[in-house]
Amino acid sequence: MIATEWNATPTNGCVDSATPAVALQEMRYLQSLRIGLIGWAIDSNYGKLVKNHQDFRPTNYETFAGCSKLPSEAGGGELLANYPHN
């Protein structure tokens, strides 16, 4: 089994202000079941896993301020990069 097209950003996959905690909880749940995970999307302005395409630093939740319709550098890139060791 594998989970595909995962990401949790202010614009895609956002639940509410608890999105960073929910994303971590989901990572740990998938890890406990030993389920593989594929992220989405490296090239979208609305669902970034990396901050830019120069050095490919993964996104994180340092600047997360809640759900929004605007592009953001907040996202689950670091969670995905560390999977399954979160």
Terminal Cα distance for the chain, rounded: 19
Residue 48's nearest CA partner among 86, 4, 11, 85 is 11
Listed in sequence order, the residues at least 6 apart from 19 whose beta carbon sits closer than 8 Å to its beta carbon are 8, 10, 13, 61, 64, 66, 67
Note the pTM of the prediction, 2 decimals: 0.87
Q: Which of 33-37, 49-53, 57-61, 66-70 has the lowest mean pLDDT?
A: 49-53
Tell me the pLDDT band of 83, cut-offs 50, 70 and 90.
very high
Angle subtended at Cα 78 by Cα 74 and Cα 79, rounded to the nearest 5 degrees: 105
The tally of domains found in the chain comes to: 1
Give the structural domain span for 32: 2-82
CA–CA gap between residue 25 and residue 30 (Å, rounded): 9
